[in-house]
Structure 1
């Protein structure tokens, strides 16, 4: 987690909270600072300062931990492989092992997190130095989260490690700097992907507070509210999520129109929030238009189309009736087939969609109805 709480008592901090003069660690007030000093900070202060001060020291430490976790999680997959960037099995400097966790298959896509991060850093630095256009700038920034071989996002703990890599690289920039805020958002998304949801929520809240403080455009605020709503949903805070997603959908639709990818994402998130509270009829009514728009604009194999059709299948299954359930099975079969073709059989998205399809097939075969918890704080997650 980035440093948004008091180092002594863990209370949430204002952006202008008092800091240690030497290492910049933040506190509620002088009382907390003095207490922390007596409890051991005296011995750590100089070390933290030498490590680039509190935020940099924390980010470097968290990055190393995240890389170790990612390497361990990928160990079975990476045996006998080498990095496609540096061609070594162990990183020459850090001695870290390999990771993958994208959509590459066979012997493709193995790399060190350090190599991926250095590649992204160099490519984006070139874009800034050469004043490349916005499209080139965006394509290079994607290297912080997307595999350059299969062009799919990294997932799970590898995405988390890359989030920490981007944050430790750009956190020294001014708060007003767009790249710093984008790196913070990458970190939040990485923590979310690794199921570190409370930590992700803290990062997204800090980023939203920064955007508001410096008068960011409404579009940027809506994007960040979307991250908050998704995290509330994942944490089981469904009423909070629904309230925010309604606001976001109306705002995004007004700004971008019906067929923009941001509007489609907002519709997907709103449908999830509605389903979680049992508002299936409203969800079905909402989804028909965005699905048609997604198919017309992006095609049937696009992620937005597949996500929207997945949640519509879940909505139909929960509406009740054998005809609705059969329609859900047919839709889930098509979504699963397309997902497997795009991501491969071992990708978490493919496996989640396969499990949901098998659940619905079993329901049709045995003639029972899909019933989901739909109360605030429920545990069931309608995985897309």
Structure 2
């Protein structure tokens, strides 16, 4: 199993250590050409003094900045987080260091994010199941697996996390985040039917918990509609977006990125729906021409006009 469930016999920790070591080796190898001749900005060495691992850098740092050992990055975050816990400080800033570079403030990606995900899990796997830190470490593992393209493995971790949250009676709000990630993994694997079922649930729970004007609700509607249109379920897309678009236009504004994406999806649904295409040939042509102009000239109003043309 990817994450073993036998903490009493030490199997969880052993498995986490093994996965971490393998992921670090892959990350160092992938970064070897880029890091040649550099040193770690934390320990100032080329090879790690203890593990002998090579350097990595997969963020937005430029020049000679940002080279480090995964072990040094992990130890640095561990110390910062322990200090925050001991002093009853906000835990989020230090926790973000598991996935964000402290120099350029941009997210790690690819195999480095994967290795740090296992580093995080290795660090906190021994904590109680209901502990926030352990649950968050599971999310780091899943996100890292996804970033490295291991979507099947990410799905396995996310399913285990969702099962755990339901078992311990976690809030609907906490469950929503895992369901979002689970749906994304299903979509990456081409399992769009399963993704749409989860996204539909997520959208309706967002409406119940946060109301229709909350940004989380609008983004959930966007994700849901995007998957539905992949499945050619255009009538459902239109049903969702007829409710959502007016809210987005009112709350976010006509030219906001999310408003435009919702309106463009609605236009596409109209265009692709066989029934809606009857008598709309000219409008569809105007839509295609106007979208082309909008893309070439970055004209936001032109895209809005294309959507409106299909709405009339």
| Global fold match (TM > 0.5) | yes
Aligned partners of 1:110 and 1:330: how far apart in 2?
43
**8 Å Cα contact 1:309/1:331 also seen in 2:** no
Decide whether aligned partners of structure 1 residues 184 and 325 sit closer, same or farther in structure 2, where only a CA change above 3 A counts.
same
Out of 179, 184, 193, the position equivalent to 1:225 is 179
Q: Deviations over 1:29-72 (max 9, x none)?
A: xxxxxxxxxxxxxxxxxxxxxxxx21111111110111111112
- State the alpha-carbon separation in 2 of the partners of residues 61 and 72 from structure 1: 17
Q: CA deviation at 1:267?
A: 3.0
1:316–1:327 Cα contact (<8 Å) kept: no
Deviations 1:214-255 (A, max 9, x none): 111111112111111111111111111111101101112322
User: Counterpart of 1:93 in 2: which secondary structure?
Assistant: coil
Cα distance between partner residues in 1 of 2:87 and 2:197: 43
2:138 is matched with 184
Cα 1:246–1:118 change in 2 (3 A) is: same
Contact 1:226 1:248 in 2 (8 A): yes
Contact map agreement 2:3 2:16 (CA 8 A) in 1 = no
* Distance in 2 between residues matched to 1:57 and 1:123, nearest whole Å: 24
In the alignment, the residues of structure 2 paired with residue 295 and residue 247 of structure 1 have an alpha-carbon distance, to the nearest angstrom, of 23
Q: How far off its partner does 1:310 sit?
A: 6.4
Q: Judge conservation of contact 1:317–1:324 (CA < 8 Å) in 2.
A: no
For residues 130 and 282 of structure 1, the distance between their equivalents in structure 2, rounded to whole angstroms, comes to 50
| Pairs aligned (count) | 282
Correspondence for 2:301: none
Deviation of residue 94 (structure 1)? 1.4
Choose the corresponding residue for 2:20, options 39, 56, 63: 63
Q: Distance in 1 between matches of 2:166 and 2:191?
A: 23
- Alpha-carbon deviation of 1:101? 1.6
| Mapped contact 1:275–1:315 kept (Cα < 8 A) | no
Provide the alpha-carbon RMSD of the alignment. Answer: 3.0
**Equivalent-residue separation in structure 2 for 1:202 and 1:334 (angstroms):** 43
Aligned equivalent of 2:96, options 131, 142, 151 = 142
Q: How far off its partner does 1:210 sit?
A: 1.0
Aligned to 2:305: none
Structure 1 residues 174, 265: closer, same or farther in 2, change over 3 A? Answer: same
Judge conservation of contact 2:127–2:134 (CA < 8 Å) in 1: yes
Q: CA deviation at 1:204?
A: 0.7
Q: CA deviation at 1:128?
A: 0.4
Q: In the aligned structure 2, how far is the partner of 1:330 from the partner of 1:171? A: 53
- In 2, Cα distance between the equivalents of 1:93 and 1:237? 43
CA–CA separation in structure 2 for the residues paired with 1:220 and 1:95: 39
What is the CA-CA distance between 1:88 and the residue it aligns to? 2.1
Distance 1:88 1:271 in 2: 50
Q: Distance in 2 between matches of 1:62 and 1:71?
A: 14
Matched residues in 1 for 2:155 and 2:112: separation?
19
Residue from 24, 37, 45 that aligns with 1:80: 37
CA contact 2:20–2:115 (8 Å) conserved in 1 = yes
C-alpha distance 82-245 of structure 1, shift in aligned 2 (>3 A):
same
Aligned to 2:52: 95
Q: Indicate if the aligned counterparts of 2:245 and 2:262 stay in contact, CA closer than 8 A.
A: no
- Is 1:2–2:2 an aligned residue pair? yes
The correspondence for 1:324, drawn from 281, 287, 290, is 287
Aligned equivalents of 2:297, 2:125: Cα separation in 1: 43
What are structure 2's unaligned runs of at least 5 residues? 273-283, 299-312
Partner of 1:202: 156
Normalising by structure 2, report the TM-score: 0.79
Q: Work out whether 1:172 is the aligned partner of 2:129.
A: no
Distance, in Å, in 1 between the alignment partners of 2:80 and 2:194 is: 39
Q: What TM-score, normalized to structure 1?
A: 0.65
For residue 181 of structure 1, report the CA deviation from its aligned partner.
0.5
CA contact (8 A) 1:310 1:331 kept: no
**Post-superposition shift, 1:80?**
2.4
Question: Which whole-Å CA distance do the structure 2 matches of 1:114 and 1:90 have between them?
Answer: 11
The CA deviation at 1:283 is 4.5
Matched, 1:111 2:68: yes
**Residues 84 and 242 from structure 1, CA distance in 2 versus in 1: closer, same or farther, beyond 3 angstroms?**
same
